[in-house]
Amino acid sequence: MIRSGLFTLSILTLFSFTASAQATNYGSNSTTPVIDALGRPVANQDITKVNNTTEVYNEWFPGKVTMENGETYKDLLLKFNLKDNLLTFVYDKSEAPQKFKDNVKVFAIYADKERVFANGFPKFDGSDSNTYYEVIAGGKTMLLEHHRQYLKQVRDENRAPTVGEYTNNKRYYLYKNGQMSKTSLDKEKLLKALADQSTKMVEYAEKQNLKFDNEADAIKLLDYYNGL
């Protein structure tokens, strides 16, 4: 039985809850194909060595999860596999990994900083409601980041493409009024998406000397917008 605990995140108010939490022995059942940067399937049989990892972190870190029915569990060690969109847990690093039988709506991993991931967003840009996005800025309008992973073929010393290297390709999205849209850390795109408060947003950005080329500035902008 998973131990329960207190875990509240403001973004949970955006979702409805319908399921209960259970755990089962880990065994990846993902059918997600390994693809390259152009979305083309990679012939795995040609690859004899793979570098880097498909995990957000290559080791277990403390975390908390909230299920679709609002139940919360803490005192867990979590790993999140980007390629398979798969969250696993243990209570002790010596244990065999387990996966959740029912959907985890939100989870947080505490490593060098708190990182929050959530699913339940509309189907968009090749993703569906099961896809986890990292929540960069929360609130009524959210800045989300999707870490898409692909396998890059690297030639070995004999020029044969037998070495693979997992590469993370980040994409940014805005979730506003129940809809998803593409965006980037770009002044024009972000201000256009928040055009209903255009004058105030421009004034705030100038006053704060926001550069729009980093997540910290984007978070400030979204926090201000959500507070209006």
Which pLDDT tens digit goes with each residue over 98-120? 989 889 999 999 998 999 999 99
User: What sign does the CA torsion over 212, 218, 221, 226 have?
Assistant: positive
Neighbour count for residue 163 (Cβ, 10 Å) = 16
The Cα–Cα gap between 138 and 222 comes to 8
In a domain, 2, yes or no: no
Q: In the numeric block, which tokens belong to residue 129?
A: 């409601």
CB contact at 8 A, 34 and 151 = yes
In a domain, 3, yes or no: no
- The predicted structure's pLDDT at residue 215: 93
Residues 199 and 171 both lie in one domain:
no
Residues 23 and 39 both lie in one domain:
yes
Calculated CA dihedral for residues 186, 180, 17, 95, nearest 10 degrees:
-60
In a domain, 1, yes or no: no
Confidence class of residue 159 from pLDDT cuts 50, 70 and 90?
low
- The predicted structure's pLDDT at residue 2: 38
Q: Which residue range is the domain that position 46 belongs to?
A: 10-183
Share of the chain above pLDDT 70, in %: 69
pTM value is 0.75
Which pLDDT tens digit goes with each residue over 119-149? 999 999 999 999 999 999 999 999 999 987 7
Residues 176 and 192 both lie in one domain:
no
Residues 97 and 179 both lie in one domain:
yes
Residues 118 and 175 both lie in one domain:
yes
CA atoms within 13 A on the CB side of 147: 23
Phi and psi for 25 in degrees, rounded to 5?
A: -60, 140
Mean per-residue pLDDT for 193-222? 94
Residues 176 and 204 both lie in one domain:
no
The Cα–Cα gap between 139 and 14 comes to 9
- The predicted structure's pLDDT at residue 118: 96
Which pLDDT tens digit goes with each residue over 39-58? 444 444 444 444 555 778 88
Comparing 154 with 83, the larger pLDDT belongs to 83
Residues 115 and 138 both lie in one domain:
yes
Residue 100 buriedness (CB in 10 A; 0-12 / 13-18 / 19+): buried
- For the packed helices 198-208 and 215-227, what is the interaxial angle rounded to 10 degrees? 140
Q: How many domains does the chain have?
A: 2
Residues 125 and 200 both lie in one domain:
no
Residues 59 and 73 both lie in one domain:
yes
